[in-house]
């Protein structure tokens, strides 16, 4: 079954922000269009504003001639546009002219312009003649036609000229009302054409900025995640910092810290229970061993002593688990060869009694490691004891060291099946239910190795028996010892010899 992929918060935010921006822009345009449709405004540019101002100032004198009153509005307009000019004509041919009128506008335009209601007169971009606005308006003097402009030449511009032209003709019904059924599709197309570039630009900007903003916002959370990844059994009491975590995620971090605290308390209670139980078992086990040794040497008494030894070994392994809580500052740099040699010498009599030869193979040079001596000693003891218990009772148990910080314990027994290589490291797991072990030795050894940033694994090969390798980080490698090799200690049932 394929594991479901977690959603990316970054891309969720990007998609939603783009949709939100597009929806906001669309609603804004719709509201603006509705407001313009209801208000039906008429925007006036400068030339049109001149005509609108003149419309209120046109009148006739007592003789019926056209005149222009100097109204406040006209006076104010002239102050703002000192180059304004205009031509006012009525239907009888009377006219009034004011300002510096370009020659092209003094000519007779014919009947067409005399009949139009409004028009904008313009020229090509390279032509310096100015645009003018023409409109037929109703005034106090009757209906007149006004041509006006705020400048006599395009050279009078301030240096920048912006022309905005928009003409929208909406289809109308015979009664003069707008036919929106025909107009709406065209308006929708215009809106899409106007919106699409804006949405694309906003979307591209969002794609570029949102990931950076999200990464910056969650930088503190990334640090917290990295600290959480470093929590293990030796640092179970650690609490994750919430100082730089976003406010929305702080409750999750607090809940995680509370969970860590509860787990640490439960783990400590469990360890104390096992330690207390093991301590309580040692006294009755010692009493049983003493009484069993007083029995007559018979097969049943030998089996009883063997069972008591198993029980004593189990109690010792339970006590060994408290070594996992030793602080890291109790470590020291030692020669791994010396420590393994001590363990080999301690177990030599037990191996001989069980029917094995014991071989110790150190490297030519010293191997320095920084360890908690008591923890590594117990891990090695469990590995050697495991070889003694499950090596078949014959052959040679070899303890070999290499300069990479590796220690191999080899036996010539039945070995461990490949599919069981990981299972045997589980607590209380026994390859053969009737075996002598309790299933704790290999688990304890692996936990100790992990506390030292090391590893333990079972090697696979064509050799006979099992080979378990423990590797520890090498602190320093210095040449030492004799060039002809360190002493090799061998033990056999006949005795102990050094060669």
Strand order in the sheet with 474-476: 332-335, 368-371, 474-476
Mean pLDDT across the stretch 182-188?
75
Report the DSSP pairing between strands 357-361 and 396-401: parallel
Q: Could you give all domains of the chain from N- to C-terminal order, each with its CATH number?
A: 9-40+179-215 (no CATH), 46-156 (3.30.450), 218-325 (1.10.287.130), 328-498 (3.30.565.10)
Q: Is 95 strand, coil or helix?
A: strand
Please answer whether residues 432 and 420 qualify as being in contact, where contact means their C-beta atoms are separated by less than 8 angstroms: no
Position 495 scores a pLDDT of 35
The torsion defined by the Cα of 99, 104, 105 and 106, in degrees rounded to 10, comes to 80
pLDDT at 355 over 50: yes
What is d(CA 116, CA 411) in angstroms, rounded to the nearest whole number? Answer: 115
Contact 465, 412 (CB under 8 A): yes
Distance, in Å, from the CA atom of 47 to the CA atom of 42, rounded to the nearest integer, reads 14
What average pLDDT score do residues 471-493 get?
Answer: 52
| Angle value at C-alpha 18, between 14 and 24, nearest 5 degrees | 140
Assigned token pair, 387: 């070889």
Coil, helix or strand at residue 151: coil
pLDDT at res. 168: 64
Q: Does residue 57 sit in helix, strand or coil? A: coil
Angle between helices 441-451 and 299-320 (to 10 degrees): 20
Tens-place pLDDT, residues 135-184: 999 999 899 999 999 888 877 766 555 555 556 666 777 776 777 777 77
The whole-model pTM stands at: 0.45
Mean pLDDT of 46-61: 90
CA dihedral 12, 14, 15, 19 (to 10 degrees): 130
What pLDDT, on a 0 to 100 scale, did the predictor assign at position 439? 67
- CB-CB neighbours of 185 under 10 Å: 10
- Give the total residue count for the chain: 499
Answer yes or no: are the C-beta atoms of 149 and 133 closer than 8 Å. Answer: yes
Report the alpha-carbon distance of residue 186 to residue 179 in Å, rounded.
Answer: 12
- Does the pLDDT at position 337 exceed 80? yes
Dist. CA 389–CA 411, nearest whole Å: 10
Q: Which residue has the higher pLDDT, 214 or 259?
A: 259
């Amino acid at each position: 079954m394929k594991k479901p992929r977690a959603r990316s918060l970054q891309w969720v935010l990007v998609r939603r922000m783009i949709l939100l921006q597009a929806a906001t822009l669309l609603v804004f345009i719709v509201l603006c269009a509705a407001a313009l449709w209801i208000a039906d405004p008429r925007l006036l540019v400068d030339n049109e504003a001149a005509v609108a101002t003149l419309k209120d100032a046109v009148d006739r004198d007592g003789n019926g001639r056209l005149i222009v009153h100097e109204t406040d509005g006209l006076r104010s307009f002239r102050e703002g546009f000192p180059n304004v000019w205009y031509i006012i004509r009525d239907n009888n041919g009377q006219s009034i002219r004011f300002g510096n009128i370009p020659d092209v506008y003094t000519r007779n335009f014919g009947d067409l312009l005399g009949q139009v209601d409004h028009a904008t007169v313009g020229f090509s971009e390279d032509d310096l003649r100015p645009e003018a606005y023409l409109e037929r308006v109703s005034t106090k003097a009757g209906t007149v036609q006004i041509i006006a402009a705020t400048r006599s030449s395009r050279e009078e511009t301030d240096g920048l000229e912006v022309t905005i032209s928009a003409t929208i003709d909406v289809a109308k019904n015979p009664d003069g009302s707008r036919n929106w059924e025909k107009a709406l599709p065209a308006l929708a197309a215009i809106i899409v054409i106007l919106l699409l570039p804006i949405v694309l630009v906003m979307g591209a900007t969002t794609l570029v900025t949102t990931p950076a903003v999200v990464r910056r916002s969650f930088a503190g959370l990334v640090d917290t995640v990295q600290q959480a990844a470093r929590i293990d059994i030796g640092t179970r009491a650690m609490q994750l910092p919430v100082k730089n975590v976003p406010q929305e995620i702080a409750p999750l971090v607090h809940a995680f810290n509370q969970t860590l605290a509860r787990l640490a308390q439960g783990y400590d209670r469990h360890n104390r229970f096992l330690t207390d139980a093991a301590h309580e078992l040692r006294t009755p086990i010692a009493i049983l061993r003493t009484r069993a040794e007083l029995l007559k040497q018979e097969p049943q008494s030998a089996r009883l002593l063997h069972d008591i030894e198993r029980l004593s070994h189990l109690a010792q392994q339970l006590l060994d688990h408290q070594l996992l809580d030793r602080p890291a500052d109790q470590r020291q740099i030692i020669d791994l060869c010396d420590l393994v040699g001590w363990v080999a010498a301690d177990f030599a009599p037990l191996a001989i009694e069980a029917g094995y030869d014991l071989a110790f193979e150190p490297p030519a040079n010293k191997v320095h490691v920084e360890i908690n001596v008591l923890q590594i000693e117990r891990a090695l003891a469990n590995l050697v004891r495991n070889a003694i218990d499950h090596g078949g009772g014959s052959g040679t148990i070899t303890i070999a060291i290499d300069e990479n910080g590796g220690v191999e314990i080899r036996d010539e027994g039945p070995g461990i099946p490949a599919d069981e290589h990981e299972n045997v490291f589980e607590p209380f797991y026994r390859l053969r239910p009737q075996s002598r072990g309790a299933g704790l030795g290999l688990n304890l050894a692996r936990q100790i190795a992990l506390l030292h940033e090391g590893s333990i694994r079972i090697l696979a090969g064509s050799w006979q028996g099992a080979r378990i390798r423990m590797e520890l980080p090498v602190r320093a490698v210095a040449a030492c010892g004799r060039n002809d090799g360190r002493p090799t200690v061998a033990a056999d049932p006949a005795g102990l010899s050094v060669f």
